[in-house]
Amino acid sequence: MTADSGSTRRQLREAAPGPQKKRHTGRWVLLGIGILVLVVIVWVVWLGIRVVQVRGDLTSAQSQIAKVQDDPSTVGDSLGGIGEHAAAAASAAGDPIWRASEWIPWAGDNLRGVRLASQSLDVLVNDLARPALGAIDGGGDAPVLETVLPYITDSAPEITELAGEVHDVAASDSLIGPVRSGVDMVDQVMSATSPFVAIMPDLLGADGAKNYLLVFQNNAESVGLGGSAASQTLLSADGGDLSITAQASSADYDNHVGNFVDVDIPDSANQLYGDYYGSRVNMAPARPDFPSMAEQMRAFWNRDIGDQQIDGVLSIDPIALSYILEATGPLELATGDEMTADNAVQLLLSDVYTRWDSMADGDVVDAFFASVAGQVFDKIATGDFDIPTMISSVGKGIDQGSILFHSFDDSVQQVIQDDRIAGILPTSNDTASTVGVYLRDESSSKIDYYMKSAIDVAQTCSDGGSTFQVATTLHMDISQADADALPAYVMSGNWGSSQFRTTIYVYGPPGTTVGDVQIDGRDVTVLSTDVDDLGRPVAAVQAYLQPTEQATVTATFSGDGDFGPADVWSTPMVNATDTTVEACGE
């Protein structure tokens, strides 16, 4: 071995990394991996803790929300608990680790859905409902709507944004069972609430005064959507401050038959309702379409009472008023009467006619109605009512068609047009196949205080279609002796107490045609079966009833295609209509 070769081997040994250097590098790699694993473990553990926290709070909030949905009167007792759980869930789901984890495939949508659901409930309850209700309960001289308007205005943009995000994530296919149910529940709440929160500031006059015509319908004289348009009150909303600016009764209008207001009346409505429709203010509710009624009421008011701008029309009847009195408590009237939830309908639709001769003492009767309207208005404007009971009462009135609203602002009307409060018969059978049964007293009387009614709808389905059999029974539930003793204003203006006439309008579901119409009664006549109105076939039948008599009209409608389960809307009567519906498969 030469000296040169030995030197070369030494140089190679010195240049090559030794075992010690290899060990140091391996340690650093292992340490890095360990730290990464530790971070992942801490991340997962921390996220798991948060998930458990949020899940517990959302589950508790969800159970309380379900309780409120079943019984709105419990909202006062439940709101605090819902708010606390929502705030805790929103806080836990809002930390940076949670937000960063939302980018993880599949799991991300679940985490995002939980966070958005938590934040939505937090804003809805803790930024809007609780402070608004707290301000109301705190009293003060400011009108109640003026007090809550700032909370609505401040929270509306965030509620609208969150509602859209929740709705988007609810469409994800990645949501697992528990997350799916919670997100769907919050999506339902936000989708229903956010549009109304968005339009409320404008409705309450946040950006300028709005005028609304309040129409009081008299169910003792049934007319389509409820009763004759007996009296009207013009309300002004300015920055949440409501005030009465004018009042009128049907006697204040030019009611000459044939002197029509300047509104478009379709030929179908002319054929079904005749010359009274559009020329007499109390017949404006005859056609079962509240936008049509609202348009006429505005035109009548502007022609005969005043030229004020009218931004919307609100309708209410004594039945809904009796529900509202459950929330406000009794009213002490100028006449010395105490009006309660139990006697409101009797006082307004019966006693008023036995106490005063409405033909001779019309001014006294009008003053009585005006006094009632004024006191109810004061109770509501000042917040002198039980909030949970009011929510339940108003909801009940809307569900049966006793409270209706139409806005002449297209952006507002777009929000409510598919809800029951809009008074628009559904235009499709997707969700339900709705039958409409509407009554019109043609006796010039107030006899419907004594009318009993029943509606039975039976739906049968076959391959490719459905048939709907609609049986309507009217019963004049008063003896001849009692009818003879009625005040003249309650008796028929045409036949006294000997008989009374009612026309029954049965609107079939869209996409059907009228089959046969069977009648059972002493003097019952089919008037029409060949008119389509509001996109529906209509069977119109006229019945004369003597005291104690009853009559039944059975109309059959059939159509091809897909039909949802049968449903029925009808004229709200003084005596609640006994309604049964037998849908396919039931």
Domain boundaries, the chain: 27-203, 210-410, 428-582
Q: How does the average pLDDT of the chain come out, rounded?
A: 84
Token pair for residue 378? Answer: 């004061």
pLDDT band per the 50, 70, 90 thresholds, residue 122: confident
pLDDT in tens, 565-577: 999 999 999 999 9
User: When comparing pLDDT for 284 and 86, which is higher?
Assistant: 284
What is the model's pLDDT at position 188?
85
The average pLDDT across 365-373 equals: 73
What is the model's pLDDT at position 103?
64
List the CATH code of the domain at 428-582: 2.60.40.1170
User: When comparing pLDDT for 261 and 357, which is higher?
Assistant: 261
Is the model's pLDDT at 400 over the cut of 80?
yes
* Continuous H helices in 281-348: 290-304, 318-328, 344-346
Cα angle value 490/213/284 (rounded, 5°): 50
What is the model's pLDDT at position 97?
58
Q: Which of 18-22, 176-180, 363-367, 552-556 has the highest mean pLDDT?
A: 552-556
Q: Per mean pLDDT, which range of 107-116, 223-232, 261-270, 551-560 is the poorest?
A: 107-116
Q: Per mean pLDDT, which range of 25-39, 254-268, 394-408 is the poorest?
A: 25-39
446: Cβ contacts below 8 Å, ≥ 6 apart: 218, 220, 221, 349, 353, 489, 490
The average pLDDT across 156-172 equals: 87
The average pLDDT across 14-43 equals: 49
Half-sphere exposure of 280 (CA within 13 A, CB side): 16
Is the model's pLDDT at 139 over the cut of 70?
no
pLDDT in tens, 458-468: 999 988 899 99
What is the model's pLDDT at position 39?
39
210-410 has which fold?
Aminopeptidase (3.40.630)
Q: How far is CA 27 from CA 31, 36, 550, in A?
A: 6, 14, 98
What is the model's pLDDT at position 91?
65
Helix, strand, coil percentages (3-state) for the chain, rounded to 5, are 50, 25, 30
Percentage of the chain beyond pLDDT 90 is 49
Token pair for residue 380? Answer: 């509501």
Q: How far is CA 411 from CA 406, 414, 536, in A?
A: 12, 5, 26
The span from the CA of 428 to the CA of 567, in Å, is 12
pLDDT in tens, 519-554: 999 999 999 999 999 999 999 999 999 999 999 999
**pTM summary value:** 0.84
What is the model's pLDDT at position 17?
54
What is the model's pLDDT at position 42?
35
The span from the CA of 176 to the CA of 105, in Å, is 13
pLDDT in tens, 279-295: 999 999 999 999 999 99
The span from the CA of 178 to the CA of 185, in Å, is 11
Q: How far is CA 414 from CA 198, 269, 409, 488, in A?
A: 12, 24, 9, 45
